[in-house]
Amino acid sequence: MNYQWYPGHMTKAIRMMQENIKLIDLIIELLDARIPLSSRNPDIDKLAAGKYRIVLLNKSDLADPVYNRQWTDFFESRGFHVLEINSKTGGGVKSIQGLVAEVCKEKIERDRRRGIVNRPVRAMVVGIPNVGKSTFINSFAGKACARTGNKPGVTRGKQWIRLNRGLELLDTPGILWPRFEDQQTGMRLAFIGSMNDEIVIMDELAGDLISCLQSLYPQALSGRYGISGEGAPCAVLTEIAESRGCYGRGQELDLEKAASLLMEDFRGGRLGRMTLERPEGIRETDGQK
């Protein structure tokens, strides 16, 4: 299956971000902790040139804690300020205000020397679709400021949100990039729901996930569904369908229903805490500013 999704509103969104970047002091980039590299939009580095940077490993509660630490070290070694967060529960979010003050200390001191008072740090919140930007903003603000949803494309336009006297956030739509050079990247983005499920073939997507889990977390499928979890992905999906009673008309196994069940279980963390990308062996140029 060819993994690619770049709807027209994303072109408009990146243009809006380019127009507003001159107003911005700080870029807060949310990544999905389960696929930190694949969930980095390479266009953000060009957009953020010369700006202060913070990377938030969101949904860290769904990712393998061992690799959360490794990915934090990876990005810190490349000059980013990094925090692991869970925007749904607010885990780690309280630390962000202090980090913003630390990262933007030079700008804040410069304003003070110039006699500029009460000028807030302006931060642009960026990330791919469905990475949790709006949920993060609502958690950070302590109230519902931004629309949220469990599918990509909920945020379509910009929205300025003043958190306090010292910080304003610009919420932006989730954007991908026009073409994935590596289809593995597109596949991982589809796994976490950053592509519209309506454009993918769900049983093929589930088959790709099964192959990935057999390699990285071989006990996950047997532990969740009480099956062997071994063999060809189609055979494993059939086992899942039988285990969960996924039948259609005429009592035929419904593999598409089983595929949707598997994807929901993965995305909801019911298969366990998993990280599908590992820092080992990544080229020195990958993930840099």
* Rounded Cα–Cα distance for residues 175 and 8 (Å): 10
Closest of 253, 186, 235 to residue 35, by C-alpha: 186
The radius of gyration computed from the CA coordinates of the chain, to the nearest angstrom, equals: 20
pTM for the structure as a whole: 0.90
pLDDT for 249 equals 84
Tokens of 165: 């006297």
Give the pLDDT score at 146. Answer: 58
Predicted confidence at residue 24, as pLDDT, reads 96
Find out whether 131 and 32 touch, Cβ atoms under 8 Å.
yes
Helical pair 233-243 and 202-216, crossing angle rounded to 10 deg: 100
Low-confidence ranges of the chain (pLDDT < 50): 148-149, 151-156, 284-285, 287-289
Separation CA 222–CA 231 (nearest Å): 12
3-state helix, strand, coil in the chain (%, to 5): 40, 15, 45
The model's pLDDT over 95-141, given as tens digits with 9 standing for 90+, comes to 999 999 999 999 999 999 999 888 899 999 999 999 999 899 999 98
**pLDDT for position 280:** 82
Q: Output the pLDDT for position 265.
A: 98
Strand arrangement, sheet containing 52-58: 81-84, 52-58, 26-32, 121-126, 167-171, 159-164
Three-class SS string for 51-101?
CEEEEEEECCCCCCHHHHHHHHHHHHCCCCEEEECECCCCECHHHHHHHHH
